[in-house]
Structure formats: structure tokens, C-alpha cells
Amino acid sequence: MAEKQAKKGKETTADKAGSSYTAKDITVLEGLEAVRRRPGMYIGTTGSAGLHHLVWEVFDNSRDEAMGGFCNDIEIALLPNNRVRVADNGRGIPVDVHPKTRVSTLETVMTVLHAGGKFGGQGYKVSGGLHGVGVSVVNALSTWVRAEVHRDGGRFVQEYKNGGKPVGKVKKVSASKANGTIISFEADASIFPDRAFNWDTIVSHMRQQAYLVRGLRISMLDLRNVESGPRTVLKGSQGPSSASLLAGLDEVFYVRELGLDVPSFTFYFEGGLRSLIGFQNHYLEPVHKNIFYVEKEQDGVQVEVALQYVDDISSRISAFANNIYNSEGGTHVTGFKTALTRTLNALDKNGKNGDSFTGDDVLEGLTAVVSIKMREVQFEGQTKGKLGSTEAQGATATVFGEAFAAFLEEHPDDARAIIGKVTLAMKARKAAKAAKESILRKGALDGMTLPGKLADCQTRSAEEAELFIVEGDSAGGTAKMGRDRRIQAILPLRGKILNIERARLDKMLSSEQIKNLVVALGTAIGDIFDIEKLRYHKIIIATDADVDGAHIRTLLLTLFYRHFRPVIDQGYLYIAQPPLFKVKKGKEVFYAFSDEERIKLAGKDIEIESEAAADEQEEEQGETAVAKRTPKVSVQRYKGLGEMNAEELWETTMDPARRILKRVAIEDAQEADIVFDMLMGTDVPARKSFIQSHAKEATIDI
């Protein structure tokens, strides 16, 4: 017995030793390995947004040179084999030996985290870089990087492979009279599943940056389909820019000799933020003529603000700190909003409206850009989505408040128009308040009074619950029979919902269809919207594959974009992909989701039949199947979900194991906002022009 106890005691001691936590259990990651292990901490995601973030990080270094007055030309080129090159005519990264690392400063910047010229000294008064991890992170997440520096009369080169490992030392390869830096890189395929760069995304980002830095020329070249080599030609510029000349010192992508026509853009805006406001309001009707603008330094913070009100119900505020886009706003936006509300209330101090304007009132129809620059900028996280510098709030409020008050006094017509717009918003808010309280507070917030047409699911776990929004009672009935009742809810809509692009909240909530959807979602809407109360974490739009179905889908997307944006941002909104064709080969059944798949399955010359004809042919085929070795092929075209039976709908569109869903994402919120304004707003000429321009891209199902 004692022996057994002793053994048991030893086992217990061994178990404790096996679960010990000592110094040897602490892993120390050397060099850039930490970035490769946890890339999301540095670039947010390894998806498309993270891939493009690599370009932004390299570009930001060149842009910071321009902000300091040392650079006026930047060129971004997409190269073959998923490579990118960013060239500038700035000072060039120093190449002399760094006193601490004992290697070239260029190698230090490229391979050491938190090494850069933005922590102190006189290298940069203002920069977007904060932690000194930008280009080193790009190096860590790439299989190949090449740094080329022109300065001090020489051309210096160093390459890095497999996550930032230097290939030799920095070498002076030739003399050079130029100054500047060229960084080329190839993202690591083991980290980024898709390494295809989106041309439109890069163009949109660079256009925005060109507005923010007056006097900076930014050129973009898509050379992915051009074979590189000496004297390769670019077409469409006024001759090689200084950045092109600089890049040409190594590998020339030059001008005109071969007459190549490649996608290219050059942006240069003297108007700065005024030009950006004009661009954003291109498809909207201004409420007042003059665009407000101020640029002034206050307590070490350079504040720049431009704004204009338009005849719309949405607000658009773009925020930047040291030219870094702050998608989540921050302290500078808080200061701006505070001063805006205070100034407009002071202008209406006689109490003509009988009530004070609220923050929502003064934001309706506002297009504004708030940009601050400061030496010690503080962001919340490496991706810099939100500004945290407290001094920016007071500086922005002071500079903007004083200048906006003076603007309203100097432009009385603009002041009257703005007050009229804000007063209208206040009246609409009061009118909508009763509607919101009666429709939302007793229904959506406590989960009661769900719409009668909603066939809810059994689970109360939002994480596994799915809501299918289908078109019409026919599709709704089929979906209800074919669904998994435990996790799938069905909400049929009757016809086309209200176009909410120009509708105020009280009018929206008077629509039975929209009210049903709001109550079903559970989040409420407007100022009491709460994403935490969303009842389904998969909201699936399932409309018919015809023109009406596409229109209904667009109306629903407009509703979610304008009033349920967090649902999209958190990845909860999807579009179902039902099959277009049912292909029968004898007794075998296949589903095709495109004409290409249908042709591959059935052949090009097989006639597409109606459902009745397909059933009739199936009966005939069954009678003669014994006599014929080669089965007949029939193709049925699905015009709507209601044409499917419950089993077909389940196995093609609703079964989580087999269905195809497209997640709705917003790659560029600003561009999306412009497109929604144009397609769903009141500017008919702009919409007509867009349709004419993209007519050839449309797939017309006759």
C-alpha cells in the first residue's frame, strides 16, 4: 500500500513538473519573425486589405518626404510576377553605418523593427510613421525586396529574401547624380493567399493622397502585362517624371519608343482639400455656393478643414492625421463636431427654431475633410484607424470654430442656406422621434412582436443563426419547406422595397417591408442602433436571377450601407448564389451557376427549356432510356427561387455544406459612397452617363 502511494506521489510530482511554467517556456522571436508569426498585429489582415497595406506602408515613407518638402514626385508601378515598385525623388535613405547596429542605416531601417527617422532628431517634423515598423514589416512579409538608394553621388543597392534576410551588404554599384529611394517587393504567398493587387484600389488611394499634399505629383503604372527590360516604353505621360528617370537608372520602363499603351494615372491637385470636397460632391447638389476652408497651426498642431453642405441626408466626414486616413475618426473629429454644433447654435442664438441643434442635425448632408499634422502623433494601433492624440481635439475645435464663425459672418447667403438645411434636419428628427419610439422600442429592443411573415429559427444563438431575405411569397414558401429550421429563418419581401437613398427615417419606418426587416434584425435603427443586439450573424440576400431581382438586391444593399453599416463592416451580410441552370443527363442532375458551366455540362447547342418542357422531356427520356445508350440532355433555366422545389433550393442555395455565398465587403468606402449617390440618388444625367459607359460590361438575360 505504501509502495502504491509512493508511486502515486511520484506520478503527481511528475505531472506538476510537466505543467511547470519557467524561463525556458518563454519564446523570444528574433528579428522580423514576430511579424511573420502575427502579421495581423501590423497590417490588420492577410486578405486583400492587408496586401494593399504593404503598398501604403512603402508609399507613406515617400509621402512623408513630400510632406517635409524634400520630394515632389512619387511613382507606383505594378510589375509582373506580383511585384510592386515605389520610387521617389526625395533625399534617399541614409546608407552610412549606424552607430548602434554597426551596419548600414539602410539595412537597419529595412530589417529592424522600431528603427526609423520619426522618433526624434530633425529628420521629419511631420510624418505618418509612428512606430518605425512600416518598411521593415513589408520586408518581413515578402519573399523578395530590393532597396535602391540614390544619394551622396552614388547608387546603393541591397536585396532581402525570405522574410527580410539580407543578401550581402549594401553596395555602391555606380555613380549617380540623382537623389531618391526605390523600394521593390514581392509579397509572400505563404502569408497572403491572394497576391493579386487591385488597380482601382491603388488608384483611389493615391488620388486621395494627392489631394492631401498640394504640389505632389503621384504617378501609377500598371506594367503587369509588360515584359521588363532595357528601354521598355510607357505611353500617356508628358515624358518621364523625375521618379521615372530615377527608376530608369536601374530598370527602365521608359516613354514612347515602343508605343506601348498601359494603364496609367497621374494625380496633381493645387486645390488640395477644396478639390477633394468638389470631387466627393460631384454627383450631389450643393446647399451653398462657397466651400469653407481653413488651414492654421494651433499649439503645435497644423489643422486643415474643408466642408460643404449638400442636398442629402447622409454625412461624409473623411479624417486624416499626418495624411494617414483614420477610418474610425478620433480626437480631431470629436473636436470638429463639437465646434460645428456650437458654432451653428450660436448663429441661431435668437432661438428662432425653439430648440438647439443636436450633433445629428448639423451633420445631415455634410461633406467634410478634417486633416491634422503634428510631430508626436498617437494612433490607436499600428493600422492607424483612429487618432488618439488629445491635443488634436482642442486645436481642431479652436481653429475650425473661429474660422467657421468668420466664414458664416462673411458669407450671409451661405449662412442662411446652411441654417435652413440644419433646421430642416432638426424638424425631421422631431417628426421621426415618435415613429422610432412606437415602432422600434417596443418591438426590436425586447425581441417581441416579430413580423408575421418571418419564419424564425429555433436557435437563440446569433453566432449560428441565419436570416434569408427572399423575394416574394412563392420563394418564401419554398425556402420555409427546404430550410434547416434550427438555424435558418426566412423573411419574404413583397416586391421592391423603398429606395432609402433620399428618404428620411420617419418615411422609411412607414414602409411595412422595411419595418419588418428592422424588427427582424433586432438592432433598431438610427441613433438607437445597437449591433450587439443583432439576432443573426449571417444575413443572406437571396433574390431571383433577373432584372427585378438585381434591383431588389441593390435596394437592400443601399439600405444596409446607409443604415446598418456595422453589419457589413463585421462581415455579417451575404448574397446567395443560386444556380442559373439545371442540367439533366439521363437520370443524373447537375447545376450550373453560369453560362460557361452550362455549356461545359450540356454542350453549346442544347436548347434551354421551360420547366414544363423539361419535365415532359424527362418522361420521354425515361421511356426510351433502355433503347438508347447515350442519354438525352435537357437544360432548365431558373428564373427565380420559386421555380425550385424545396429539395433543390436546399441542396443548391441553403445547405451550408454545398451552397455558394458571397460576403459583402467595402474595399473603398469613399468610392462606394459616390457610387450609391450616383446610382440611387436624383442625378439622372450622371446615372445615364454611368450606364452608357458601362453598358458593354452588363450581362443581359433576355
546 is catalytic: yes
The pLDDT value recorded for residue 616 is 57
Counting residues of the chain whose pLDDT is more than 90, the rounded percentage is 39
The pLDDT value recorded for residue 410 is 96
| Length of the chain measured in residues | 702
Residue 206, pLDDT > 60, answer yes
Q: In the CATH hierarchy, which fold is given to the domain comprising 273-426?
A: Ribosomal Protein S5; domain 2 (3.30.230)
- Mean per-residue pLDDT of the chain: 80
| Sign, CA torsion 216/218/382/369 | positive
The pLDDT value recorded for residue 301 is 94
* pTM metric for this prediction: 0.64
Residue 648, pLDDT > 60, answer yes
194 is catalytic: no
**Which region among 96-100, 152-156, 604-608 has the lowest average model confidence (pLDDT)?**
604-608
The pLDDT value recorded for residue 598 is 87
**Which region among 68-72, 303-307, 576-580, 624-628 has the lowest average model confidence (pLDDT)?**
624-628
Nearest-angstrom CA–CA distance, 531 and 534 = 5
Of 117, 148, 112, 132, the closest CA to residue 247 belongs to: 148
- Pick the catalytic residue from 295, 328, 546, 595: 546
Q: In the beta sheet, which residues pair with residue 84?
A: 78, 185
- Pick the catalytic residue from 304, 312, 471, 673: 471
The stretch 468-479 carries a mean pLDDT of 90
Residue 613, pLDDT > 70, answer no
First to last CA, the chain: 88
Of 154, 316, 399, 173, the closest CA to residue 674 belongs to: 316
The pLDDT value recorded for residue 120 is 44
- Among 29-33, 457-461, 687-691, which range has the highest average pLDDT? 457-461
The pLDDT value recorded for residue 230 is 41
More confident residue, 436 or 432: 432
548 is catalytic: yes
Three-class SS string for 472-509? HHHHHHHHHHHCCCCCEEEEEECCCCCCHHHCCHHHHH
Nearest-angstrom CA–CA distance, 540 and 416 = 45
**Which region among 192-196, 262-266, 459-463 has the lowest average model confidence (pLDDT)?**
262-266
Residue 12, pLDDT > 70, answer no
Residue 256, pLDDT > 50, answer no
Residue 438 pLDDT level (bands cut at 50, 70, 90): low
Residue 671, pLDDT > 70, answer no
Residue 21 pLDDT level (bands cut at 50, 70, 90): low
Please list, in sequence order, all residues whose beta carbon lies within 8 angstroms of the beta carbon of residue 371, skipping any fewer than 6 positions away: 212, 273, 303, 304, 305, 319, 320, 321, 323
Tell me the pLDDT tens digit for each residue of 22-48: 554 444 445 577 788 878 778 878 888
Residue with cell 505632389: 216
Q: Please give the CATH superfamily to which domain 33-267 belongs.
A: Histidine kinase-like ATPase, C-terminal domain (3.30.565.10)
More confident residue, 231 or 490: 490
The residue ranges of every structural domain in the chain are: 33-267, 273-426, 442-578+663-694, 581-637
Tell me the pLDDT tens digit for each residue of 157-186: 999 998 888 998 999 999 988 899 999 999
The pLDDT value recorded for residue 13 is 44
Residue 605, pLDDT > 50, answer yes
Of 432, 426, 429, the closest CA to residue 356 belongs to: 426
Tell me the pLDDT tens digit for each residue of 316-359: 999 999 888 888 899 999 999 999 999 999 987 655 556 889 99
- Pick the catalytic residue from 548, 595, 609, 651: 548
The stretch 561-580 carries a mean pLDDT of 91
Residue 16, pLDDT > 60, answer no
- Pick the catalytic residue from 75, 456, 544, 643: 544
Q: In the CATH hierarchy, which fold is given to the domain comprising 442-578+663-694?
A: Rossmann fold (3.40.50)
33-267 against 442-578+663-694: fold identical: no
